Amino acid sequence: MDEVDMLDIGENAFRDYLFNNHKEDFSSLIVGRREPVEWKGEEFPPLYFLLQRKVECAINEMLDQLEELVLTAKELRLEKAGPNPTRVDLFGCSESTGITIIELKKSQQTERQAFTELLAYANHFCSIFPGVNETAITSILVAPMETRTVKDAYVQELLLNKKNIVSLIPSCDDGCYSLSVFYPEESYYKWFENNVFNDHSMTCVTMSFPLIQGWIDSEHDEPPQYAKDALNQISNSVAHILESKGFHSIVYSSQKWNEIAGLFPYPNMIVVAAVNPFSSARTYTEDGSIGGRSAPGRLTEIQAIYNQLTEDGQRFNWLEAMESDFSGRLIRAVRDQLEFCLLNESQSIHVEIGLPDWYGLKTSMVDAVFTHNFEAYTTGLLREVYTEYVCYLYETGQQEVMFGYQMLTPFLAVWEICRGFGYEAE
């Protein structure tokens, strides 16, 4: 089977062929669907496998939905003003797919443009239907999928941005056209595992504050239930804010044991550990060279960017600045929400901000052992991966509780699973 050279019939002709012959059965052209990867080992599956399975399940779910797709327009104009209005190659909809946009490109030189246009089209529909987000829109890219940039962006949109997007590769066999499903290779998920999920990529922020009589107290054995409820509610509200701002994090609250709580002016603590893409431990600049505990390919790509900066740009430590900016945004988000939660009419509650090393905090006797640790909440990709682990436990009969909801936030369950993210082989 040879890849379709749309130069033979032209993009316009291929678009017309799809619209005229497959308005109601577009999915009949789709081939190459396969079941998501399966883990056959007895030990816990690695992180990259869970990421891969999650993406492949999402792709297959979208393929199922495309069975109901009906094409309702071609060259749909999105802007009437100006000499060169924007046109969507094919437009359709269904109860399963919602608004569906299809963009066709014949070569790798133009598939990057097509991918960018798809994202812009989805944003346009969100703007004309206020309140709609891109999860209500299905985007389909029909292209050779030969460009590394497009492949990287595709995984990013599926895994991190939760976009409903499918890539199909056109091909032809004896004059019969088909669209092969593009599944990213395993290496793309290992890239995320090696560069995202370890202690060196985590920025830890702590917010400590005093006991509040009648609201957040301490007792001999353990804090009263109303104190637990208050601390859990605060952690939950912080997690919601971090989720909305795109942070991949773990959030929980803790209180020093009653026996030692009196030794600390601020025995209550909100702990946030978030993946920092600009962590200096992972990437740094030294004498014009990019180094760090990262995959060599990642360092090479960042070095290529650095080499193209002006002399002033190279003297300005841009990686350090971005790391600082990330930490600042994280601190402000947590602080502002905690201050909101502690609003009251009677007193001003002082909050002490800390930036401990995440590995050091996890292994500290005072901060991780001699404490009551309450419900743990995960956000972003950490939440997605944790959920995948829980599903795996139920699939393999290793669950210890009856229902999945019981695994959502218990500290020990989240801690046992998420602490493995920090492991990095020598």
Smallest CA-to-CA distance from 372 within 322, 333, 411, 416 is with 411
Instruction: Look at residue 426 in the predicted model and tell me its pLDDT.
Output: 39
Q: Which residue type is seen at 171?
A: S
Output b/e per residue, 134-170; b: 16+ Cβ within 10 A.
Answer: beebbbbbbbbbebeebbebbbebbbeeebbbbbbbb
More confident residue, 180 or 161: 180
Q: Select, from the ranges 147-156, 232-241, 290-299, the one with the highest average predicted confidence (pLDDT).
A: 232-241
Contact 261, 211 (CB under 8 A): yes
Where is average pLDDT lowest: 35-44, 80-89, 200-209? Answer: 80-89
Full strand arrangement of the beta sheet holding 352-354: 352-354, 202-209, 268-275, 249-256, 371-378
Write the DSSP symbol of residue 418.
H
Instruction: Look at residue 3 in the predicted model and tell me its pLDDT.
Output: 46
Mean pLDDT of 164-187: 89
Write the DSSP symbol of residue 143.
S
Mean pLDDT of 178-193: 86
Instruction: Look at residue 63 in the predicted model and tell me its pLDDT.
Output: 95
Q: Residue 420: is its pLDDT beyond 70? A: no
Confidence bin at 184 (pLDDT 50/70/90)? very high
> pLDDT digit string (tens) for 270-301?
999 998 888 887 888 888 898 887 777 778 88
Instruction: Look at residue 24 in the predicted model and tell me its pLDDT.
Output: 93
Confidence bin at 249 (pLDDT 50/70/90)? very high
Q: Residue 166: is its pLDDT beyond 80? A: yes
Tokens coding 315: 């003297």
Instruction: Look at residue 425 in the predicted model and tell me its pLDDT.
Output: 44
Asked if CATH classification 3.40.1350.10 holds for the domain at 2-193, the reply, yes or no, is yes
How far apart CA 37 and CA 49 sit, in angstroms, is: 8
Confidence bin at 335 (pLDDT 50/70/90)? very high
Residues 6+ positions from 198 with CB-CB distance below 8 Å:
421, 422, 423, 424
Q: Select, from the ranges 4-8, 198-202, 353-357, the one with the highest average predicted confidence (pLDDT).
A: 353-357
Q: Residue 1: is its pLDDT beyond 70? A: no
Mean pLDDT of 248-261: 90
Confidence bin at 48 (pLDDT 50/70/90)? confident
Mean pLDDT of 25-37: 94
> pLDDT digit string (tens) for 56-86?
999 999 999 999 999 999 999 886 555 666 7
Instruction: Look at residue 287 in the predicted model and tell me its pLDDT.
Output: 86
The SS3 of residue 115 is helix
Q: Where are the domains of the chain?
A: 2-193, 197-280+309-422
How far apart CA 37 and CA 39 sit, in angstroms, is: 7
How large is the greatest C-alpha to C-alpha distance in the chain, in angstroms? 81
Q: Residue 339: is its pLDDT beyond 50? A: yes
DSSP string, 187-256: HHHHHHHHHHSSGGGEEEEEEEE--BTTTB---SSS--HHHHHHHHHHHHHHHHHHHHTT--EEEEEEEE
Contact 334, 379 (CB under 8 A): no
Instruction: Look at residue 87 in the predicted model and tell me its pLDDT.
Output: 86
* Threshold 0.85, pTM exceeds: no
Angle of the 186-196 helix axis to the 296-307 helix axis, nearest 10: 80
Mean pLDDT of 171-189: 87
